[in-house]
Amino acid sequence: MSEQVRDAQPPDLPALVALERTLFGAEAWDEASLRAELDGPGRRLLVVEDGPRVAAYASTMVLGDVADLLRIGVDPARQGRGLGGALLAAVVDHARAAGAHRLLLEVAATNAAALALYGRAGLVEVDRRRGYYRDGVDALVLGLALA
């Protein structure tokens, strides 16, 4: 894969907003929410470019010994090319470097592609939040020991 994971910059925000809307619909973050991910306490927003376009992104928050993967998304036209895996690996590396002992995330129980990605990375279900999403779908809380 020739694409590189890098820190997001303010000029990336319009592309990130568009990807959010495409991927998450009613659950999408707006520009203000994404802007807060650029420099909020313990936050890091990563992107992968494919040519001149942002093709994928991930947002994390590390507080103390816990890292939360808040968002990860890949442009539907670019899925299946390893971008999600590259981002997840970068998130894990960053979390370890920041001193986190575990990584947590929430994912829709119906998101088979994401569940497969997380399973390949060794994340396991640690909890279930019934009816968590607006459409009534359960959220699975997945975790990965980092220490």
Catalytic residue among 3, 49, 106, 125: 106
In single-letter form, the type of residue at position 55 comes to A
Q: Is 132 a catalytic residue?
A: no
CB-based contact 146:122 (threshold 8 Å): no
Structure tokens at 88: 């997840």
The β-bridge partners of 69 are: 60, 105
Rg (CA), the chain: 14
In single-letter form, the type of residue at position 67 comes to A
Orientation angle between helical segments 112-120 and 83-97, nearest 10 degrees: 50
Nearest to 44 by CA among 22, 56, 64, 60: 60
Catalytic residue among 20, 37, 57, 118: 118
Q: Is 27 a catalytic residue?
A: no
Residues annotated as catalytic (active site), given as ranges: 106, 118
